[in-house]
Amino acid sequence: MDFKALRQKYQEFIYRGYVWKISKNSLDIKFRFEISPDILFAPEINIVFNGEAKLESISKDVLDNLVFNLGLSEIPSYFKATCSKNIKVLAQEMTQNQVKWWEKFLITEMSQFYFENSIDFTQKDFIKILPKNITSGREVNIAQKTGSGACVAVGGGKDSALTLEIFDREGISYSAFSLNPTASTKRVIGKSSSKGFISVYRKIDPKLLELNKNGFLNGHTPIVSYMSFLAILVSYLCGFSEVVFSNEKSADEENTLYLGKKVNHQHDKTYEFEKSFREYNEEFLSDIVYFSFLRPIGDLKVAKMFAKQANKYHSSFLSCNIGQREDRWCGKCPKCLSTYMVIFPFLKDKTKKIFGSELYNDTSLKRLADSLITPGDEKPFECVATRKELQSAVVLSEGSKNLPLLTHLKDVVAKIGVNKKSALETLEEFSSKNFLPKKYQDILRKYI
């Protein structure tokens, strides 16, 4: 359906409220959203603690605040159906700073959605958040740390597996946390020394899927930002003092430009988002420490460390989103090819066993490979390494004679001007733009 027609008909998105029910081993949450005049949504979340919760020390007011904010992070998935101009928040009052933060969030974190739907999001007051009441000095019920240990987000890929391996070697106390855990996520956590496993099951309202089929707007919405709010909530309930993600600096590279603005598929994995979320957390959520352990290094360095130091996870991890349901690498998507390319220089003969085939033998991937490494091209909208890292991975790869796709890429990279010296420099980059507490920065440097 036409964006302008939808926006004209459905002028208001409403965050009506939420209810939650807590028991010994779980927390159930239901949100209520409306698109005026006649569309209702009631998404649900079930958090399973598996004995991790410390419910005796929680405050109802604090939990209310955390659940309310989680509901705000749920809005993009439903708001996108009509992209209504006004978002009315009736579930709780908000401060002016909160309103500004969320208005910016719905522009920056939804930029890929606007690009996919050819929507001009640069116009003034494109989105307005209208709370039931704006307070200037509301005393926010901040969640205070009630224990110690880390809540580590795990997605089943090489990044979080590497974090778990290093934490295990260092004897760091942590519990794994996962949203809609896949088979690979469960395998990775099962091989770790995690003290617990908090599983969160998010149920999308079927009404949204029905609207998608009927031609309402659809497209990418941020998930790591949602998980960040969720992880703070989980950490409060379980008494953790730290929330740890495994986002690396490669996420900072945009995919394309649209209307003069950068569009980044993984913007909520960037340093910029991490900085913004930490500030929001401190002002409106908790005193729990939030950071990304792998932030100073890039995907190529992560791949090298994973290949050399996390052997036990080589047969367990899976980064392919397309193949998750069948628990396999599809071998055709940007995520598969990017992961293969950065790992190949360090595993070579083992890559075929991991991926199920030798992707550098598949010349049908030539166009995709070119789009991943060629400057100026639109980079595929997936969580992939930077162009510079993938170019460096090609230079650092051996054995191109019998691998036609690698032979082709070596020719392309040679014309770009990347050599072994510059490739090694890219590999060894360590960014100062990170929020690692000194203890964790020292640990990461030790394994590099």
Residues 329 and 318: beta-carbon distance below 8 Å? yes
Residues 96 and 43: beta-carbon distance below 8 Å? no
pLDDT higher than threshold 80 for residue 44:
yes
User: 72 lies in a domain?
Assistant: yes
Structural domain harbouring 415: 299-427
Nearest-CA neighbor of 162 among 326, 343, 375, 284?
343
If asked whether residues 230 and 359 sit together in one domain, one would say no
User: 434 lies in a domain?
Assistant: no
Pairing of strands 26-36, 39-41: antiparallel
Average pLDDT of the segment spanning 55-67 = 90
Question: CA-based angle 196:197:202, to the nearest 5?
Answer: 155
If asked whether residues 333 and 405 sit together in one domain, one would say yes
Q: Domain ends where: 245, 269, 292?
A: 292
Q: What pLDDT, in 10s, does the model give residues 361-395?
A: 999 999 999 999 999 889 999 999 999 999 999 99
**How many domains does the chain divide into?**
2
User: 343 lies in a domain?
Assistant: yes
If asked whether residues 224 and 352 sit together in one domain, one would say no
Name the pLDDT band for 398 (thresholds 50, 70, 90).
confident
If asked whether residues 27 and 173 sit together in one domain, one would say yes
Query: 83: which residues sit within 8 A by CB, 6+ positions away?
Result: 3, 6, 7, 117, 119, 217
If asked whether residues 263 and 348 sit together in one domain, one would say no
Element (H, E) at 199: strand 197-203
- What are the helix (H) ranges across 80-127? 96-108, 111-116
Length of the chain: 448
Name the pLDDT band for 137 (thresholds 50, 70, 90).
low
User: 440 lies in a domain?
Assistant: no
Q: Give the side-chain half-sphere CA count within 13 A for 386.
A: 21
Q: How far apart are CA 80 and CA 220, in angstroms?
A: 9
Q: Domain ends where: 292, 327, 344?
A: 292
Q: What single-letter amino acid sits at 84?
A: S
User: 254 lies in a domain?
Assistant: yes
Q: Other CB atoms closer than 10 Å to residue 76's CB: what's the count?
A: 19
Q: What pLDDT, in 10s, does the model give residues 99-115?
A: 999 999 999 999 999 99
If asked whether residues 324 and 286 sit together in one domain, one would say no
pLDDT higher than threshold 90 for residue 54:
no
If asked whether residues 107 and 224 sit together in one domain, one would say yes
If asked whether residues 175 and 86 sit together in one domain, one would say yes
For the CA atoms of 126, 71, 267, 331, the dihedral, rounded to the nearest 10 degrees, stands at -120
Pairing of strands 197-203, 44-48: antiparallel
User: 253 lies in a domain?
Assistant: yes
Structure tokens at 203: 């149920």
Residues 224 and 76: beta-carbon distance below 8 Å? no
User: 446 lies in a domain?
Assistant: no
If asked whether residues 13 and 107 sit together in one domain, one would say yes
If asked whether residues 309 and 200 sit together in one domain, one would say no
Question: pTM for this one?
Answer: 0.96
Q: How far apart are CA 122 and CA 163, in angstroms?
A: 38
Query: 269: which residues sit within 8 A by CB, 6+ positions away?
Result: 224, 245, 247, 251, 292, 383
Q: Domain ends where: 253, 268, 292?
A: 292
pLDDT at 400: 66
Name the pLDDT band for 24 (thresholds 50, 70, 90).
confident
User: 441 lies in a domain?
Assistant: no
If asked whether residues 16 and 93 sit together in one domain, one would say yes
If asked whether residues 185 and 320 sit together in one domain, one would say no
Residues 200 and 113: beta-carbon distance below 8 Å? no
